[in-house]
């Protein structure tokens, strides 16, 4: 695999477009910028079409003979089904307001990463086959034929969009280019043109309930391991339960938190928080994934994977559900779950058993975000917190695209951080909240073979972190998304060495004063707490 | 992708990880180690064997911190630490040792 260029080389980005018109520029599939193609067994397991062994770098992508008809019929079907798609195809005036808002364009300088042009890749085919002007005038009307090269261009560029929706914030028409990418990926899926980093987790999730393919006893042992870790740090043994019928609350986390650092520290935070407030909750080894990589393949697949959450809530007879820190998980839960697999009329409207707060916003889905839940606890003074335990950290907050733009969770994480940390600094205004910059690896692009793409796409975010690192000495980047927790550490190591990544609930776990705990000498990562060395030195004297 | 060894063809992914867990043998491990410039010693085998046992039981490669903790329990603190693991497998125990042990790469939010 190609080694990435050095930061100084990679940041020398040319924004000069090629001299030819965009339709005449043939796509070159560059190493480091794409993910390996979806593998036969992964596609087979979920019954996706055209499961075969293929490689994006070979000429022949092994498509069915009638591939063109399949795509055009696919477009026709979706124009019927999704009014938004039809509108987004018709109304763009190509004003270019979105052009420089995309992190992938900013990081690559490739015009086909301008959201307007990315959508145009599909729109040009729509015009050719579905509009009168395009049928008659062809290229004059911005239309072109669907060819093998066009298909390869789609695959290359629609897997260079992380569906973050930053462009849509700036579009005067409100066109959501992420939805264009979503449709384009659905069309590509009709031909088995997926990437393995998405297809693998989807197959795992379908077969075993979570992206990593963790078996029930593996989940159990992983959480037991974290329970031991908590005991070593706090002297308190938390006792989580699994698949327990009759529990009041079902808790669903992204599986990355169970099995990959730094997500595991966030997971320790969940375990400690729930233990301390004493809620009656259970984990599930069946609904063992909050995330939904199916959402990056097709609406139907996302729905199939999502179904297990309500099914498990029903089977266990819980009253409502809390969900962990994950980005796209919440886009799916907040915007689709109720209509896909609801109504969840067997559940009750969520009410915090500790504060009696009714979570009105979760009335339909019956599922509450951990940050909303925690912020409410803090607001009602139900947690004993010692923010000094996070004094070794100078923290900033990265708004995860989906929770920020997809559901408006902007203030809760900040409220929590401000209560559990003494040193919090914001990145510049145009890089946070609704205008947050993507980690560069969202929508299933957090593989290793496309590292150059990820580092380029993450440059605007990293640049904002670098700015406040230099200004305030920030050394910790907090987030509420498992893809962020997987994607941001290599991004920071590359562009802003010295900044680590944490989930918000990990910071809560550090600050949380637990009833009967022993004196804490380290944080959840086993690092000495601030002032501990001095104290030990003094004791020696 | 594939490689040949003693007249048999072994399917791998794009990065040289074995496709079929059952294809693994000591010879195959030695071969993959060779492609990684790792010379297998008894110390290297201890880790590969642990990884395979863990995989047999849990169907996934262990987290590094679990590997460290278990190595510590089994072989003592001088072998249960990050530095030791990186000395044996300079490209990282997760990547290199798992590859030699014939385990697939984990996917998802990792």
In this prediction, residue A533 carries a pLDDT of: 66
The structural domains of chain B, ordered by start, are 2-100 (1.10.10.370)
Q: State the pLDDT confidence band at B106, using cuts at 50, 70 and 90.
A: confident
Q: What phi and psi values does residue B88 have, to the nearest 5 degrees?
A: -75, -40
Q: Average of pLDDT values for A455-468? A: 98
Nearest CB to A36 within list B14, B58, B66 = B14
DSSP state at residue A529 = P
DSSP state at residue A502 = E
Q: What phi and psi values does residue A36 have, to the nearest 5 degrees?
A: -60, 150
Nearest CB to B59 within list A1, A39, A213 = A213
The structure tokens listed for A481 are 């998304």
pLDDT per residue over A316-352, tens digit each? 999 999 999 999 999 999 999 999 999 999 999 999 9
Cβ count near A228 (within 10 Å): 12
In this prediction, residue A536 carries a pLDDT of: 59
- Listed in sequence order, the DSSP H helices in B5-81 are 26-35, 42-58, 64-75
Q: Average of pLDDT values for A431-446? A: 97
Residues of A in contact with B58 (CB under 8 A): 215, 217-218, 221
B81 touches chain A (CB under 8 A): no
Residues of A in contact with B106 (CB under 8 A): 212, 259-260
Residues of B in contact with A293 (CB under 8 A): 108
Burial label for A91, CB within 10 Å (0-12, 13-18, 19+), is exposed
The answer to whether A215 contacts B110, with C-beta atoms less than 8 Å apart, is no
Residue in B with minimal Cα distance to A55: B14
On whether the CB atoms of residues B32 and B99 are closer than 8 A, the answer is yes
Residues of A in contact with B61 (CB under 8 A): none
Q: What phi and psi values does residue A286 have, to the nearest 5 degrees?
A: -100, -60
Indicate if the pLDDT at residue A541 is higher than 50. no
On whether the CB atoms of residues A485 and A266 are closer than 8 A, the answer is yes
The span from the CA of B31 to the CA of A539, in Å, is: 55
Tell me the CB-side half-sphere exposure of residue A366, using CA atoms within 13 A. Answer: 23
The structure tokens listed for A89 are 């195809």
DSSP state at residue A358 = B
Residue bearing the bigger pLDDT, A541 or A122: A122
Indicate if the pLDDT at residue A163 is higher than 90. yes
Nearest CB to A218 within list B14, B60, B108 = B60
Nearest CB to B63 within list A211, A215, A259 = A259
pTM value is 0.96
Q: Average of pLDDT values for A225-232? A: 98
The span from the CA of A467 to the CA of A428, in Å, is: 8
Q: State the pLDDT confidence band at A368, using cuts at 50, 70 and 90.
A: very high
Burial label for A439, CB within 10 Å (0-12, 13-18, 19+), is buried
Residues of A in contact with B14 (CB under 8 A): 36, 55, 449
In this prediction, residue B104 carries a pLDDT of: 87
Considering only CA atoms, which of B12, B18, B9 is closest in space to residue B100?
Answer: B18
Q: State the pLDDT confidence band at B37, using cuts at 50, 70 and 90.
A: very high
Q: State the pLDDT confidence band at A72, using cuts at 50, 70 and 90.
A: very high
Considering only CA atoms, which of A182, A169, A174, A176 is closest in space to residue A432?
Answer: A169
Cβ count near A6 (within 10 Å): 9
Residues of A in contact with B92 (CB under 8 A): none
The span from the CA of A464 to the CA of A397, in Å, is: 11
In this prediction, residue A4 carries a pLDDT of: 83
The span from the CA of A306 to the CA of A341, in Å, is: 8
The answer to whether B108 contacts A256, with C-beta atoms less than 8 Å apart, is yes
Residue in B with minimal Cα distance to A225: B66
Considering only CA atoms, which of A291, A195, A213, A203 is closest in space to residue A259?
Answer: A213
pLDDT per residue over A372-427, tens digit each? 999 999 999 999 999 999 999 999 999 999 999 999 999 999 999 999 999 999 99
pLDDT per residue over A19-63, tens digit each? 999 999 999 999 999 999 999 999 999 999 999 989 999 999 999
DSSP state at residue A354 = T
The span from the CA of A2 to the CA of B15, in Å, is: 12
In this prediction, residue A18 carries a pLDDT of: 93
Nearest CB to B108 within list A55, A201, A221 = A201
Helix, strand, coil distribution of chain B in percent, nearest 5 = 50, 10, 40
What residues contact A525, with CB distance under 8 A and at least 6 apart? A262, A265
Considering only CA atoms, give the Rg of chain B.
14
B14 touches chain A (CB under 8 A): yes
In this prediction, residue A324 carries a pLDDT of: 98
B63 touches chain A (CB under 8 A): yes
* Torsion over CA: A480, A484, A489, A492 (sign): negative
B109 touches chain A (CB under 8 A): yes
Mean pLDDT of chain A: 96
Cβ count near A483 (within 10 Å): 31
The answer to whether A264 contacts B15, with C-beta atoms less than 8 Å apart, is no
pLDDT per residue over A189-218, tens digit each? 999 999 999 999 999 999 999 999 999 999
The answer to whether B110 contacts A486, with C-beta atoms less than 8 Å apart, is yes
Cβ count near A326 (within 10 Å): 34
In this prediction, residue A535 carries a pLDDT of: 64
Indicate if the pLDDT at residue A84 is higher than 60. yes
Name the residues of B annotated as catalytic.
Answer: 109
Interface probe with B: pick from A212, A252, A289, most Cβ of B within 10 Å: A212
DSSP-derived pairing of the beta strands B8-11 and B2-5: antiparallel
Residue in A with minimal Cα distance to B58: A218
The span from the CA of A215 to the CA of A184, in Å, is: 33
The span from the CA of A192 to the CA of A188, in Å, is: 7
B65 touches chain A (CB under 8 A): yes
- Å from B26 to nearest chain A CA? 26
The span from the CA of A478 to the CA of A471, in Å, is: 17
Considering only CA atoms, which of A489, A434, A430, A494 is closest in space to residue A464?
Answer: A430
How many interchain CB pairs under 8 A, A with B? 73
Considering only CA atoms, which of A317, A331, A308 is closest in space to residue A252?
Answer: A308
On whether the CB atoms of residues A417 and A424 are closer than 8 A, the answer is yes
A interface with B, Cβ–Cβ below 8 Å: 1, 36, 39, 55, 196-197, 200-201, 204, 210-215, 217-218, 221-222, 225, 254-257, 259-261, 263-264, 291, 293, 326, 446, 449, 482-483, 485-486
């Amino acid at each position: 695999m190609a080694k990435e260029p050095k930061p100084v080389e990679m940041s020398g980005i040319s924004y000069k477009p090629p001299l030819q018109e965009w339709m005449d520029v043939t796509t070159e599939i560059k190493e480091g910028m794409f993910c390996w193609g979806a593998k036969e067994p992964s596609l087979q397991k979920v019954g996706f079409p055209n499961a075969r062994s293929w490689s994006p770098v070979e000429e022949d992508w092994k498509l069915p003979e009638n591939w063109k008809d399949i795509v055009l019929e696919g477009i026709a079907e979706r124009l019927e089904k999704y009014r938004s798609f039809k509108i987004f195809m018709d109304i763009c005036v190509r004003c270019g307001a979105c052009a420089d808002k995309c992190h992938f364009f900013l990081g690559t300088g490739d015009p086909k990463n301008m959201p307007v042009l990315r959508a145009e890749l599909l729109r040009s085919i729509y015009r050719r086959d579905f509009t009168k002007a395009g049928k008659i005038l062809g290229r004059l009307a911005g239309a072109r034929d669907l060819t093998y090269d066009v298909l390869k261009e789609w695959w290359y560029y629609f897997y260079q969009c992380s569906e973050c929706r930053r462009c849509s914030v700036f579009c005067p028409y409100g066109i959501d280019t992420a939805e264009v990418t979503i449709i384009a990926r659905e069309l590509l899926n009709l031909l088995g043109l997926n990437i393995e980093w998405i297809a693998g987790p989807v197959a795992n999730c379908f077969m075993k309930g979570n992206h990593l393919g963790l078996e029930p006893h593996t989940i159990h042992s992983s959480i037991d391991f974290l329970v031991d870790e908590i005991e070593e740090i706090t002297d308190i043994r938390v006792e989580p339960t699994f698949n327990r019928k009759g529990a009041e609350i079902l808790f669903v986390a992204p599986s990355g938190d169970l099995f990959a650092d730094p997500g595991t520290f966030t997971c320790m935070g969940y375990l400690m928080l729930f233990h301390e407030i004493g809620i009656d909750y259970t984990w599930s080894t069946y609904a063992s994934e909050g995330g939904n990589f199916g959402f990056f393949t097709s609406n139907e697949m996302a729905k199939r994977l999502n179904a297990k959450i309500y099914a498990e809530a029903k089977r266990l007879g819980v009253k409502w559900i809390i969900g962990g820190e994950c980005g796209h998980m919440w886009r799916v839960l907040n915007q689709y779950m109720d209509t896909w697999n609801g109504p969840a009329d067997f559940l009750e409207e969520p009410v915090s058993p500790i504060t009696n707060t009714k979570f009105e916003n979760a009335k339909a889905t019956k599922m509450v975000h951990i940050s909303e839940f925690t912020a409410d606890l803090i607001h009602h003074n139900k947690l004993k917190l010692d923010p000094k335990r996070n004094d070794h950290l100078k923290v900033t907050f990265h708004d995860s695209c989906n929770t920020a733009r997809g559901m408006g969770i902007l203030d809760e994480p900040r409220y929590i951080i401000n209560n559990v940390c003494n040193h919090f600094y914001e990145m510049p205004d145009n890089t946070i909240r609704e205008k947050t910059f993507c980690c560069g690896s969202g929508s299933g692009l957090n593989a290793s073979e496309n590292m150059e793409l990820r580092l380029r796409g993450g440059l605007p975010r990293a640049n904002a972190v670098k700015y406040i690192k230099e200004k305030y000495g920030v050394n910790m980047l907090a987030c509420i998304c498992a893809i962020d927790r997987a994607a941001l550490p290599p991004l920071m190591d590359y562009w802003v060495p010295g900044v680590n990544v944490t989930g918000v609930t990990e910071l809560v776990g550090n600050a949380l004063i637990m009833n009967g705990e022993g004196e804490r000498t380290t944080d959840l990562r086993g690092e000495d707490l601030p002032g501990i060395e001095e104290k030990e030195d003094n004791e020696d004297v | 992708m594939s490689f040949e060894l003693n007249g048999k063809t072994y399917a791998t992914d794009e990065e040289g990880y074995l496709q079929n867990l059952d294809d693994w043998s000591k010879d195959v491990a030695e071969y993959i180690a060779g492609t990684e410039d790792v010379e297998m010693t008894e110390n290297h085998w201890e880790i590969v064997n642990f990884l395979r046992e863990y995989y047999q039981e849990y169907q996934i490669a262990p987290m590094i911190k679990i590997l460290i903790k278990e190595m510590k329990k089994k072989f003592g603190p001088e072998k249960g630490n990050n530095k030791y693991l990186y000395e044996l497998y300079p490209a990282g125990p997760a990547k290199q040792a798992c590859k030699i042990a014939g385990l697939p790469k984990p996917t998802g939010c990792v």
